[in-house]
Amino acid sequence: MVLTADSSYHPSRVPMTKMLDDIFASATRMVRGEYTSLLLFGSYARGDPGAESDVDILQVVPSHRASYRVGPFAFSAYTARHLFRMAEHGSLFALHLVREALEISDPGHILSALRAKFVYPKDCKKLRVELGRALRLLDVDEHGYILRWQKYEMLAVYILRSALYSYAYDSGRLSFSLDKVISVLGRSELGPLVRAAGVGGPNFVRFGQLAKNCGDLLGVDVVNPCKSADALIVDSWNQSPLTIILGLRLLRRDERLLSYEEFDLSEGAIDG
């Protein structure tokens, strides 16, 4: 069966080999615009998807374009140049691809080149410093939270998840399955919080718990000295590119939520 954008069929409901055949055929059919490579990554590439898992597709494009969704398929668009730069900086997203990606269509051998160019970082301390700076965006009053509650909760999850991955890397136990990382780091209490985020309507108490856990992980107080996200973005110019990127995406009017790989748009966030 080939998936369609409005199909109620979900690939996690079929055996693995049939599932991959369906995904590969459907991704090739649903992709929008030009590409030089299509790669499957995430839970379907690992073989541990859940019923609600996205089908994560990397679309290598000749020039910059926005990422997009088609049904359960989440297409993340990157140029090869950007991916190679990320690999040379030891980005965790690039490592995710290096370790787990499966080729759907890769005539230019992008995946093998990415593996050859990847530089393993010594540790992720610099990334955690950047995450700690971006954490200040979560200092918001209840009124401000309600205005864009899903974006605030997804930002908190994004920072939390990135911090967990970074600690797992430093401990030599990195997995890109969040459940496994939570387990190996002994932070089982975070699972329900992460799963509840962004669904069921705004909950300022839940958000506060997410933000506090982010701060505890990073050893940083969730306090914005600039008092507003706008002012923090301006204050972060030339100091914290991650804060600028995440802050602008938090405040913009469209409804697009953050996907985990986007922290790697901040070059040099990991210490090589």
Q: Which residue, 89, 117, 145, sits at the end of a domain?
A: 117
CATH number of the domain to which 55 belongs: 3.30.460.10
Q: Is residue 2 part of a domain?
A: no
CA–CA separation, 141 vs 111, rounded Å? 44
- For β-strands 68-70 and 73-79, DSSP reports them as antiparallel
* Residue 52, CB-side half-sphere exposure with 13 Å CA sphere: 3
Instruction: Kindly give, in sequence order, each residue whose CB lies less than 8 Å from that of residue 10, ignoring residues fewer than 6 positions away.
Output: 51, 72
pLDDT, position 4:
44
What is the pLDDT confidence band of residue 253, given thresholds at 50, 70 and 90?
Answer: confident
What is the pLDDT confidence band of residue 255, given thresholds at 50, 70 and 90?
Answer: low
| 18, 102: one domain | yes
Q: Which residue has the higher pLDDT, 46 or 256?
A: 46
Give the pLDDT confidence of 48-58 residue by residue, as tens digits.
Answer: 888 788 999 99
Average pLDDT over residues 170-182: 93
pLDDT, position 262:
47
Q: Is residue 89 part of a domain?
A: yes
Give the pLDDT confidence of 2-29 residue by residue, as tens digits.
Answer: 444 444 444 544 556 788 999 999 999 9
pLDDT, position 50:
83
Q: Is residue 55 part of a domain?
A: yes
| 65, 155: one domain | no
CA–CA separation, 170 vs 219, rounded Å? 16
What is the pLDDT confidence band of residue 214, given thresholds at 50, 70 and 90?
Answer: very high
Neighbouring-strand partners of residue 271:
123
Q: Encoding tokens for residue 222?
A: 């969730």
CA–CA separation, 249 vs 247, rounded Å? 5
Residue 268 has pLDDT above 80, yes or no: no
| 46, 177: one domain | no
| 183, 252: one domain | yes
| 113, 229: one domain | no
- Strand segments, DSSP code E, in 197-237 are none
DSSP 259: P
Quote the pTM value: 0.85
Give the pLDDT confidence of 70-99 residue by residue, as tens digits.
Answer: 999 999 999 999 999 999 999 999 999 999
Mean pLDDT lowest for which of 111-115, 141-145, 196-200, 219-223? 196-200
Q: Which residue, 52, 83, 117, sits at the end of a domain?
A: 117
| 135, 15: one domain | no
| 98, 168: one domain | no
In which domain, by residue range, is 79 found?
11-117
| 179, 104: one domain | no
pLDDT, position 18:
80
| 103, 162: one domain | no
Count: domains in the chain: 2
| 153, 238: one domain | yes
| 112, 132: one domain | no
pLDDT, position 257:
52
Q: Encoding tokens for residue 231?
A: 């002012």
Residue 260 has pLDDT above 90, yes or no: no
Q: Which residue, 64, 89, 117, sits at the end of a domain?
A: 117
- Tell me the average pLDDT of the chain: 87
Give the residue carrying structure tokens 């992460």: 194
Average pLDDT over residues 120-139: 95
CA–CA separation, 266 vs 145, rounded Å? 25
| 107, 136: one domain | no
Q: Is residue 75 part of a domain?
A: yes
